[in-house]
Amino acid sequence: MPGAQVPITIEQLVALNPYNPDILPDLENYVEEQVATQTYSLDANLCLLRLYQFQPARLDVRIVARMLVKALMALPATDFNLCMFLIPERLQMEEPFLTLATLAHFLETAHFREFWDEANRNRDILEVVPGFERAIQGYAIHVLSITYQRLPRSILAEAINVEGLSLDKFLEYQVNNNGWTLEKGGQLVVLPANEDNHPVLRKSSADSIPLEHVARLFPVLG
Amino acid sequence: MAYDAGYGGRDYGGGYDDSYDDRPEFRDGFRDLQPPEPGFDSTNYVPDVVKSFVVYLYRHIRQKNVYEIHQMYEGSFQKLSERLFKQSYWPAVEMIAPYVENDHVFCLLYKEMWFRHLYARLQPTLEQRCDSWDNYCNLFQVILHGNVNMQLPNQWLWDMVDEFIYQFQSFCQYRAKLKQRTDHELALLKQVDEVWNVIGVMNYLQALIEKSMILQILDEEKDGNVTFTATDGYDYHGGTNVLKVLGYFSIVGLLRVHCLLGDYQSGLRALSPIDINQPGVFNTVIGCQITTIYYYGFANLMLRRYLNAIKSFNQVLLYIFKTKQYHQRSSQYDQILKKNEQMYALLAICLSLCPHPKLVEENVNNLLREKYGEKMLRMQRSEEANFDELFSFSCPKFVTPSLPNYNEPLVNFNQDAYRLQLKLFLSEVRQQQLLSGIRSFLKLYTTISISKLASFMDVNEPTLRVALLMYKHKTHVINDDGSVLSNADVDFYVADDMVHIADTKVTKHFGDYFIQHISKFDEIINDLDQVQLE
C-alpha cells in the first residue's frame, strides 16, 4: 500500500512478529507504558521475557521487576508463576526477585497479614507501580468472596490492610455499590451470593445426560 | 475420537507385513543385502536395491501417488535401514542424485531422511548438525518460496516438523554440555551462532504458518466451510498439500517449542486455532496426536488447569490403549510407548493434586492404578519425592535457548532449564500441601465449626482460616475470559465461624452406565453377526 504507514500497535507486533529481537525496545517501553497508564498485557510481557531468554545480555532487571509487580496485580490469575518460568534461576536468587517471590508466596497461600507486613518493608519496589495496593485488595476480596458468605470484620481488615475510619468508608462504598450488607453493628460483613460461596447454587448435572452421549445410541436404537 | 484412515495417510495396516518383500523396489532381489563390512564406507556406494528405491520414490513423488510414497517412506525405507544401514549412513546424496535427474527438491527430501536416519541410529558430529540445519533451511525456503507442487503423506510432513524441533532440542543440549566439547568443536561452535538458533527455528515455524494461511483456513472451517479437515489436508484437485499441512503441523510445533522454553501460556495460545476436542488433521498421524495432547496436557498442568489436563490425557490414553496393537510394526512404536508411560505419570500427578476419579475411563484407570497406585497414595499425602520422580520422568526436555558465554569457564548447563521448571513445580506442590488434609476432613462433615476443625487439624484458628482461603484460591481456576471455574471435588463456604460443606453425595450415573453397556452389547452383536458358522 503506497503512502501512509499505518502505525502498528504493540499487540499487533506481538501477534505477527513475536520472534524478532528488534522489537525488544518497543516491548520494554510498553512495560513502562503499562505501569504509567495502569494497563496490562500478559502476552506482550511474556514476549519480552522470551526475548530476554534468547539474549540474556539484554535483560533489564528493573523492567523485569516491574513486569512481576504487574503480574502480582493480576492475581488470582497465575501470571506471576508464568513469568517466573521464564526467568533464569540465578537471577531469581537475587533481589528484588527474592522479595517478589516471597510476596507472591504469601498471596498464593492467602497469608495476607504477612504479605502486607512484607510489602510495607519494601515500599520502594512496589510504589513505582501505581494501583498496586488496590489490585491486591481486589484479589483479597475475590478470595474472600468465594469462601465466605458472612465474614467477621477483623478478617476483612487484615486481608485488605484497612482499619478504623478508612475501613468504615470502604464498607460504606461496598454496601452502596456492590451489594454488601452489614450485620451485628458492622462486625459481620455479608457478601453477595455467587456460585462459589453458595456451592448449593451450582447447577446439578447429576442426572442430566448430554445429548452427544445419547446420540451415540441412535444407530442402535434404529 | 473416531480414527479416520484418510486418503493415503493410513498409518496402520498395509506395509507392515512380510508381503512387503514383493514390493517393486525390491524386485531386483536382495542380492546386496549383506550388511557392509565394518569400516566400509557406505556413503560412497549405492547398492542396487537403494538405486531402485530412490528411482521408484522419485517416480511416485512426480506422479503424486501418495499411497505409494507412504508405503515406501514408512515401510521400504525402514526395511532397508534395518537390513543395510543398521549402524551406518545411507549413501550420500551426491551418489544417488544421478538416478533422480539431479532433482533439487528430491535431493533435499532425501537428505532430510538421510539426517533423520543418522540422528536415530548414530551420533551426529557438529558438522553434520550444521549440515542438517542448512538442509532444513533450504528445504523450507523452497517450500515457502518455490511453488512446490507435490503431495506428500501427512506422516512424512509431520515427521519433518517433529524432527526439525527434535534436532533443535538435541543441539541445545549438545551445545550446553560445554565441558564435553573438544577444542575443535568449541572453535566451530563460536562461528556458527545462527545454526539451530532458537529465533531461526521459531521464525521458520511462524513463516510456514503464515505463508500457508492455515489460520484463515481453520477459521473458515469454524463457519462450516470444512474443506481442509474433510480431506485430511490432501488436495484432490491436482494441487499440493505440502505447505498447508506443514503450516498446520507447525502450529503443534510452536506449542512444543514454547513448552520446551517454559512458556506454557504462549504455547497454548499458539495451539488455540486447533480444537483438540474435534476431529482434525492432527488425528491423521498418531505421532502428532500424541505430541499435541502431551504438550497440551503438560502446559495445562503447569498452569494449574488440572481438569483440562486430566480430560485430555484420559482421552488420548484410552485411544492408545485401543489402537496400539496396530502400530506394533511401526517405526514410531517405541516413541508411542514412551509417551504413553509419561502421560500416565502426568495423569497420576494431576489426579493427586486434583482428585476427580470420575473423569478417568475404566481401562485407563486400571492401568493407572497398576503403574502408580501406590505412588499416588503417597503423593496425596504430599510426599514430595514422588512428585519429583514422576515429574522428572515425564517432563519435556527443556532447553536453554541462549548462546553460551564461551569466555567464562566452561560448565555444563544442559540441566538448568529442567531444574528451574522442577523447582517451581515442587514449590507449587509444597504450597498445596495443606489442601489434602483439609479435603479429607471436609469429606467427613456437613457442618463443622472453625474451632473444632482447627483442633482436629492441630492448627490454630487463624491458620485454619488462611488455609481455607488458600484451598478456595488453589481450586478455583481463572479462565482466559476471566470466569472462575472450580475444580474442587469437595466444596464449602464459611458463614462467620461455621464451615458448611456442599452436598457431595456420590451420584450414580445410571444414564452413562446404561449407555456404555448398550454400546458394548451392540458391538458384541455386530461381532457375532460376522461370525460364520461352519
How near does any CA of chain B get to the CA of A167, in Å? 19
Number of separate helices (H) and strands (E) present in chain B: 22, 5
CB B149 within 8 A of CB B62: no
User: Which pLDDT belongs to residue A208?
Assistant: 59
Tens of pLDDT along chain B (534 residues) come to 333 333 333 333 333 344 455 677 666 555 555 555 666 677 788 889 999 999 999 999 999 999 999 999 988 999 999 888 988 999 999 999 999 999 999 999 999 999 999 999 999 999 999 999 999 999 999 999 988 889 999 999 999 999 999 999 999 999 999 999 999 999 999 999 999 999 999 999 999 999 999 999 999 888 887 788 888 888 888 788 999 999 999 999 999 999 999 999 999 999 999 999 988 999 999 999 999 999 999 999 999 999 999 999 999 999 999 998 888 878 789 899 999 999 999 999 999 999 888 899 999 999 999 999 999 999 988 889 999 999 999 999 999 999 998 888 888 999 999 999 999 999 999 999 888 888 888 888 889 999 999 999 889 999 999 999 999 999 998 887 778 888 888 889 998 889 998 865 555 566 777 777 888 888 888 888 888 776
pLDDT surpassing 90 at residue A84: yes
Q: Give exposure, B503-529, as e/b (b: 16+ Cβ within 10 Å).
A: eeeeeeeeeeeebeeeeeeeeeeeeee
Taking contacts as CB-CB distances below 8 angstroms, the residues of chain A near B503 are: 200
How near does any CA of chain B get to the CA of A207, in Å? 7
Nine-digit cell at B526?
Answer: 455386530
User: Which pLDDT belongs to residue B383?
Assistant: 87
Taking contacts as CB-CB distances below 8 angstroms, the residues of chain B near A110 are: 466-467, 469-470, 473
Contacts A–B by Cβ distance under 8 A = 143
**Collapsed DSSP state (helix, strand, coil) of residue A190:** strand
Contact assignment for B496 to A202 by CB distance below 8 Å: no
Return the residue in A50, A114, A205 with the most chain B beta carbons within 10 A, the one to mutate for interface testing: A50
How near does any CA of chain A get to the CA of B284, in Å? 22
User: Which pLDDT belongs to residue A204?
Assistant: 46
User: Which pLDDT belongs to residue B446?
Assistant: 87
Closest CA to B212 of B256, B157, B156: B157
- B304 in reach of chain A (CB within 8 A): yes
Return the residue in B175, B266, B419 with the most chain A beta carbons within 10 A, the one to mutate for interface testing: B266
CB B80 within 8 A of CB B50: yes
User: Which pLDDT belongs to residue A4?
Assistant: 47
Residues A104-127, mean pLDDT to the nearest whole number: 94
Spatial separation of the C-alpha atoms in residues B206 and A18, rounded to whole Å: 9
- B198 in reach of chain A (CB within 8 A): yes
Contact assignment for A78 to B262 by CB distance below 8 Å: no
CB B152 within 8 A of CB B242: yes
Q: Who wins on pLDDT, A13 or B348?
A: B348
Q: Could you tell me the maximum CA-CA distance found in chain A, to the nearest angstrom?
A: 73
B486 φ/ψ angles, rounded to the nearest 5 degrees: -90, 130
Q: Who wins on pLDDT, A213 or B35?
A: A213
Spatial separation of the C-alpha atoms in residues B43 and B168, rounded to whole Å: 25
What tens digit of pLDDT does each residue of A170-212 get? 999 999 998 899 988 878 888 888 878 877 644 445 555 667 7
- B431 in reach of chain A (CB within 8 A): yes
How near does any CA of chain B get to the CA of A34, in Å? 19
User: Which pLDDT belongs to residue B222?
Assistant: 84
Contact assignment for B473 to A76 by CB distance below 8 Å: yes
How near does any CA of chain A get to the CA of B483, in Å? 11
The complex scores an ipTM of 0.87
- B282 in reach of chain A (CB within 8 A): no
Q: Tell me the whole-structure pTM to 2 decimals.
A: 0.88
Handedness of CA A35, A41, A42, A44 (dihedral sign): negative
| CA dist B235 → A141, B7, B148, B150 (Å) | 55, 10, 13, 10
